[in-house]
Amino acid sequence: MDMIITLEGKATVKAQYNGHTIKTDQPEPAGDNSAPPPFDLFLASIGTCAGIYVKSFCTQRGIPTDQIKLVQTMEFDPAKRMVSKIGLDIQLPPDFPEKYRSAVINAAELCAVKKHLHNPPEITISSSTQD
């Protein structure tokens, strides 16, 4: 399935995919700051993907998730101008079953976004004329 990307306004870029519109923008002055920048969505996809796996793990075992949160930290390498390390801390409530503490980490490790970062796809860029 194709994702269709359109360019709008000052720096707004929208992606249409699977029936959803994903809007991005850039902070002022380059953009209007009306939506997250694309890179922020990329970073959020890591934590939210892990969160889906944690949620599913807990739900399957009848463990409440209302007091669980994931805190994602990023270390930035100024020389490379890139994120050099991403950490995820799954913060569990005191009454979380001890026997599942390591298993919930293993569940988060199943995140498809993380797996793609460890085995990145080849990305090719071309140009064509619209029909």
Q: What is the torsional sign of CA 40, 41, 42, 48?
A: positive
Residue 123 in any domain: the answer is no
For the entire predicted model, the pTM comes to 0.88
- pLDDT tens digits along 22-39: 999 999 999 999 999 999
pLDDT at residue 3 is higher than 90: yes
DSSP lists the bridge partners of residue 82 as 77
For residues 6 and 15, give the distance between their C-alpha atoms in angstroms, rounded to a whole number.
6
- pLDDT tens digits along 64-92: 999 999 999 999 999 999 999 999 999 99
Residue 126 in any domain: the answer is no
Q: Are residues 48 and 31 located together in one domain of the fold?
A: no
pLDDT band for 1, please (50, 70, 90 cuts): confident
Q: How many residues does the chain have?
A: 131
Domain that holds residue 113: 37-118
Q: Are residues 47 and 20 located together in one domain of the fold?
A: no
Question: In the sheet that 4-8 helps form, which strands lie side by side, from edge to edge?
Answer: 4-8, 12-17, 20-24
What long-range pairs does 30-36 form, CB within 8 A, spacing at least 24?
A: none
Q: Are residues 15 and 56 located together in one domain of the fold?
A: no
What long-range pairs does 44-47 form, CB within 8 A, spacing at least 24?
A: 45/113, 46/72, 46/86, 46/88, 46/111, 46/113, 46/114, 46/117, 47/72, 47/88
Q: Are residues 71 and 94 located together in one domain of the fold?
A: yes
